[in-house]
Structure 1
Amino acid sequence: MAETQLQLVEITELETNSKENSIDQPSCVDRTRKTPSRDYKWWIRTVLYTVFLICGQSLATLLGRLYFDKGGTSKWLASLAQIGGFPVLVPLYFFILCRNPTLESDSPPFVTAFLKVYVPLGLLVAGSGYLFSVGLQYLPVSTVTLITASQLAFNAFFSYFLNSQKFTASIVNSLVLLTISSVLLVVNNHTEKPAGVSKGEYAAGFICTVGGAAVYGLMLASQQLALRKVLKIQTLKVVFDVIIYQSLVASMATVVGLFASGEYKGLKKEMEEYALGKVSYAMTLLWTAIGWQVFAIGTVGLVFEVSSLYSISVRTVGLPIVPVLAVFVFHDKMDGIKGMSMVLAIWGFVSYIYQHNLDHQKSKIENRIVSEIADEDWSPADNRA
């Protein structure tokens, strides 16, 4: 119950929860006494999920590019590395179940949740992973990461229809800045084509990266909708359910693509000819998978605690870290256009965070007013009764 009351996105939901609590808890002193601890725990979780998202994204993106840079060629295998690492979360998942057993009577049956939530989300994850793999193969990693800033705009668009996302001046300003940031990279395309990549491949990489951003934005908006309207029970277990089962579906779809495309036939030769050796080949894929799972925990956690738009905004602000690291790791160029694109991406994120802070303060005021009204309606006579 306390977990449900921590949602800060829809004020109407908060008002409803507060009214219900006024009936279940006769003492207003008890309710106000719990609020500081809930806020404190919420911030701890939000910061932790943010660290997971940024660190996991940076590590996995760099290793994903390293795979192609040192001789890897299988886009389907690279996609599988993005989503196939979910088994490492299973021990932690069972540890959570043992430490925090919960009754989830309101949650839908597993088959219903699997067909309505995990299968659609898993297919979207698989599609997004493949499109990003194409981008990493044909584009510099710095360009790929900056293009993904457009995910925020796509997510806002889909959230408007799926989650009734409100558009304020600050959010619109944020989306415009992020769009301009991506457009600048289009203008800068001709100056940074990797060696051995044709113009057609470069264009395909750019289009697939934008497409991957769009699919990922749709996936996060759908994820938020599923968490609130279908799964309903919002616990840490549900966060791991979403990650594990959607990753399972996405992995199965990717394995089908790997075998259907015939790329599996060249994997043995690819490993033997990998520039860093067989062990490094395996470790690159392994740590790529682990990095993306850490990223997934942060992403779904922030969707659960705040909203899909906030989650994707945090990912956006973490994007400039990768191009800076890519300058040292892959010797990518950091010219004026790319630097300006990075500044605009950060500016757009800050603009959204500002609006989120305003919404958070407004929700606290609305929640306090509703609580005070409920306290007035609850008289001592009602308590004795």
Structure 2
Amino acid sequence: MEIPFWVWPQSVAWVLVHGYLWWRLVRCAMPPGRWRKAATIALAVMAPTVPGALIAMHTLSPTEGAWITWPGFIWYGLLVYLLLALVAGELLRLVLFVARKIRRRGAEPETPEAVASRRRFLARGVAIGAGAVAVTTVGYGMTQAFSSARLERITIRLRGLADAGEGFRIALVADTHVGPFLGRGNISGIVERVNAEKPDVVVIPGDLIDGTVADLGPAVAPLGDLRARHGVYFSLGNHEYLFDFDNWVEYLRDLGIRTLRNERVELPHFDLAGVNDSSGDNVGDPPDYERALGDRDPDRPVVLLAHQPAQAYEAQKYGVDLQLSGHTHGGQFFPAGLLTSIGQPVMAGHGTVGDTQLYVTRGTGFWGPAIRVGSPPEITLITLAAAR
């Protein structure tokens, strides 16, 4: 398992952020003494946990790395909202400074002691407020991240679908991210809920895991209990390409799940195709739309599994009727969703790219900080209808 290049600059950035946090939360808000020393030591201890968690995700098994991934990623989430709240506090300080200058124009200068006292009072208020915002937001986000996925029901009208295909149901499950935080129990719960709906087909467009078959095979095994009249299909996501993707394809085959690697199968009433994630370019396993879609019967509708919504830009050139994707987690939490949205035509839900319809599920899992804010986990049940 290789450590992705982005881990290093991000790790350095978060360590540097701790310097700013020390200045605002400790140096400016706390008087000299043992409490300031204790807070300084605490920040120094926590600073390497985020880089440690990022590195452990790609070098240690979920069990071996739990001692650092759990505290590291929880602290990661707290850091994000501490930083946002403190930046808002900087703006508040600026507004109050300008207002005070205007109000005291022409008045006697304040004593240094009065100025220092006022600044310390404001710094403590901002620090307490930032802490409250971060703890409350992350606490709420964790309850959402570990909650049962919502069952989203949607009807999509598919051009060219025969009347006999009306009511065909597709269960869409993506981004389970089995790994340090989510395991066998989570997968078993998903399987139970999907089977209860008795779908005609189950599709999983990538990011199933964050680890190797050796580490996570038993956790993923309940997927072998998925039941659908016309089978269970998988396509590769970017995270599979970080962890022995060929072994995962073989393991899923043993569970009765077929991976569509730039290929297509005929189902009743439409074709189901799958292309590799675009990150496969880096390991010699790129998406091949021509191979998956080039020789198909244009009179049959085609539904495409492609992990990233942005792949619809290429899919629409091949007349794909509907693309099913994940990857974005619906943004997962602010401001991470802003970065994820770059280049993606849809973050969550139903949209279009050209003449191609696109549905993006928020997924059932998460990556990095164990939080979801404004983007609850989702299992999707799509009912097909003929276009009128």
TM over 0.5, yes or no? Answer: no
Q: TM-score, normalised by structure 2?
A: 0.29
Question: Normalized per residue, which structure has more helix?
Answer: 1
Q: TM-score, normalised by structure 1?
A: 0.29
Higher relative contact order structure (alpha carbons within 8 Å, sequence separation ≥ 6): 1
